[in-house]
Amino acid sequence: MNVAVPEAGGPLVLTGEIEILSADGTLLARHTETALCRCGQSATKPYCDGSHERACFQDPGALGRFAAAVEHLTSGPVRITLRPNASLGVSGPLELRAATGDAVVRLEKASLCRCGASNNKPFCDGSHKTIGFTA
């Protein structure tokens, strides 16, 4: 099972079969565990380099609103597509768990925030456009 947890004040930690793809679909990396930047400040985007601490990134690791949840997940890898200057595109089976463990969303497709400004974290709300996020 592929699992992602937005750590309170920190990165998105993923475990399972994870594939990182460029915007054109080129496979960049495969992982069984990785931490992706959620604050938008990492020098090693999409990966976390600890910049959230210096940036004083504030987020409790809760789950925002998401309307397209599924009851049962398929099997296989989750693909994380790096959209230029925008969100992380998620396709494939992923169980997203709140940092507190009190909420779970199962999804097959979503856009996750990586600029740190979304008001619906960990989901993207388009804030990257208004803050001029680059990655």
Chunk the chain into consecutive blocks of 10 residues (it has 135) and report each block's average pLDDT, rounded to whole numbers. Answer: 98 98 98 98 98 97 93 95 98 97 95 98 98 96
What pTM, to 2 d.p., does this model score? 0.95
- Radius of gyration over every alpha carbon of the chain, rounded to an integer in angstroms: 13
The kind and range of the H/E element at 129 are: helix 127-131
CB atoms within 10 A of CB 2: 21
- Torsion sign over Cα 57, 10, 96, 126: positive
Q: What is the pLDDT of residue 5?
A: 98
Q: What is the pLDDT of residue 24?
A: 97
> d(Cα 21, Cα 113) in Å, to the nearest integer?
16
Q: What is the pLDDT of residue 113?
A: 98
| Beta-carbon contacts of residue 57 (< 8 Å; ≥ 6 apart) | 9, 10, 38, 39, 41, 116
Strands (E), 22-131: 27-36, 78-82, 88-97, 104-112
